[in-house]
Structure 1
Amino acid sequence: MSGSLRLKASPKVTGAMFARATLASELSGDGRRSVVSTLRSDGPLVLRQCNPKEPEPLVKGRRDVARVALAAGTAGPIGGDHYSLDVHVGAGSTLVLTEVSAMLVLPGIGGGQSQMTVNVTVDAGATFVWWAEPIIAAHRCHHSHDVRVALAPGARLVLREEMLLGRHGEVPGDFTSRLRITQGGRPLYDQRLGFGPSAPGWNGAAVLDTNRAVGSIIAVDPAWQDAPPPALPYDRCAALTPLPGPGAAIGAVAPDSLHLRRLLLQGLRTLGPPWATDPKETTT
């Protein structure tokens, strides 16, 4: 487990950066614990092994799982930057990926688009917990965020994503995101979002209205293959929805990040153990 990847400036956009990071986990030789087998990063994307940061769903602070935190080595991404992250969760292993802080997406000098691309593969019998921090779309940013997750049959997943549209009192720039999840090669979840000046109507009454925070938690469990959790609108701004497969989507909108986080965790609690982040919490 070693190495770093090259970080280079883009020849097309002045000052722009291209950075790539790679992360993988596998079972140890005795099969008793999960270990990090690949950890390569440099520049804007910094990967480090870590301890639990906050209460975790599914794993509950277990010592036999692999944990890695993603930190920003520089400001941004800014306009023109292109970051990519590849994650491979090996068969039977459990990997928890957290983030040290929120990602602030900023405009660039030349007005170019910044991009973040994440590709995740979760092998059979493996578990991936991605407990991400918010992405903040600053004023005048132009950003595309693309995440693809390929789950093998028998894999488990819990993934949190949160987006804040502008800093306090700020009008956001252009921000688009797409989250695609397949299970056994078949589509399970595909969500596209677009906000900002190039997406008229996003702040209308039928979409976000006055809310400036939007997020979701996706939970996938092979035990739900025949009977996923039932639909549950547990708040006027949040609901749990079964997916066409062994999964459920929890979605919410809120005026700020604190309210959004509370709504998402409330939805997770409706699934009961082991999904609730606190083992003492019960279904609401």
Structure 2
Amino acid sequence: MSVRATARVVATRDGLPVLESDGPLALRRTRATGPCTRVTVVGAMSAPLGGDRLAIEAEVREGARLAVDSAAATIALPGRTPEQARYDVRLTVGEHAELRWLPEQLISAYGSDLRMRTRVELAATARLVLREEQILGRYGEQPGSLTTRLTVHRAGRPLLDQELGYGPGATGGWDGGAVLGGHRAVGQLLIVDPAFEEKPAEPRLLGETAALTPLAGPALLVTVVAPDARELRRVLDEVLHTELPA
């Protein structure tokens, strides 16, 4: 039987007036080490499976600061039905608010079929740090079919809209030299901050398989392919520690 579930969190300057778990998506307020209120997503059961419809909605209202992470990697698995699973993330960040969206990796297991979409709406003075990491197959196995789309609007205008596809359901060439080149870990880090209006990030290569690109927004995007999850996280963490405006 497929699962339908939507978890919601709303952050204000005074706390978390909404913290709603649903199905396999359990939200827990956890101890923070910085200025942001912290929420951790805890998987209450195996998901997403074939046919599941999962969603997380996070709203950070004016002046609030929220960090969302997860307790473990999310594993897309085949289900009893061949129907595609869907996982939607909807994020809204208000004026002078900040969201740090830093989940653990998404692992595309052999035989799975998942479409994941992340939609972000930012106010003009909002700040965002968003990390996405995909691991294509568990150790020693081929990946499932995975399609991800990230759409970001700032002050009502498009900032970023990209779609990526991997595995048997993707168009030809996804594993070739022009895309992954045989690597099985891929990720990106998006930082949106008004501070980049006065001092944009400098474009540069970060080794042989990673690049930092400034966006008109103001924002920067780091894209990385790596042989494994550990190397992928190392590169993304290094950028996060050096490029995040004070």
Instruction: Please tell me the TM-score bracket, short chain as reference.
Output: over 0.9
Alignment partners' CA distance in 1, 2:241 and 2:66: 21
1:254 aligns with 2:215: no
Which residue does the alignment assign to 2:43?
72
Alignment partners' CA distance in 1, 2:69 and 2:230: 18
Q: By how many angstroms is 1:224 displaced?
A: 1.3
Q: By how many angstroms is 1:215 displaced?
A: 0.2
Alignment partners' CA distance in 1, 2:67 and 2:53: 24
Q: What pairs with 1:29-68 in structure 2 (closer than 5 Å)?
A: 35-52=15-32, 61-62=33-34, 64-68=35-39
Q: By how many angstroms is 1:226 displaced?
A: 4.3
Question: Which structure is larger by alpha-carbon Rg, 1 or 2?
Answer: 1
Which residue does the alignment assign to 1:21?
7
Q: By how many angstroms is 1:191 displaced?
A: 1.9
Q: What pairs with 1:231-250 in structure 2 (closer than 5 Å)?
A: 231-250=203-222
Alignment partners' CA distance in 2, 1:219 and 1:76: 28
Alignment partners' CA distance in 2, 1:21 and 1:110: 23
Do the aligned residues in 2 keep the contact of 1:230 with 1:241 (CA within 8 Å)?
A: yes
Do the aligned residues in 2 keep the contact of 1:250 with 1:268 (CA within 8 Å)?
A: no
Q: By how many angstroms is 1:173 displaced?
A: 1.0
Q: By how many angstroms is 1:42 displaced?
A: 2.3
Do the aligned residues in 2 keep the contact of 1:239 with 1:267 (CA within 8 Å)?
A: no
Q: What pairs with 1:206-221 in structure 2 (closer than 5 Å)?
A: 206-221=178-193
Amino acid in structure 2 at the alignment position of 1:40: E
Alignment partners' CA distance in 1, 2:159 and 2:178: 25
Alignment partners' CA distance in 2, 1:158 and 1:252: 16
Do the aligned residues in 2 keep the contact of 1:234 with 1:267 (CA within 8 Å)?
A: no
1:224 aligns with 2:196: yes
Higher fraction of strand: 2
Deviations 1:45-101 (A, max 9, x none): 10010014xxxxxxxx22x53111001111021000000111100100000101000
Task: Classify the secondary structure of the residue corresponding to 1:235.
Answer: coil
Alignment partners' CA distance in 1, 2:81 and 2:182: 31
Q: What pairs with 1:63-142 in structure 2 (closer than 5 Å)?
A: 64-142=35-113
From 139, 144, 163, the counterpart of 2:134: 163
Number of residues paired by the alignment? 245
TM-score (norm. length: structure 1): 0.84
Gaps of 5+ in 1: 1-14, 29-34, 53-60, 275-284
Do the aligned residues in 1 keep the contact of 2:9 with 2:58 (CA within 8 Å)?
A: yes
Task: Classify the secondary structure of the residue corresponding to 1:215.
Answer: strand
Gaps of 5+ in 2: none
Alignment partners' CA distance in 2, 1:115 and 1:231: 34
Do the aligned residues in 1 keep the contact of 2:84 with 2:114 (CA within 8 Å)?
A: yes
Q: By how many angstroms is 1:270 displaced?
A: 3.8
Do the aligned residues in 2 keep the contact of 1:177 with 1:192 (CA within 8 Å)?
A: yes
Amino acid in structure 1 at the alignment position of 2:91: V
TM-score (norm. length: structure 2): 0.96
Q: By how many angstroms is 1:169 displaced?
A: 0.9
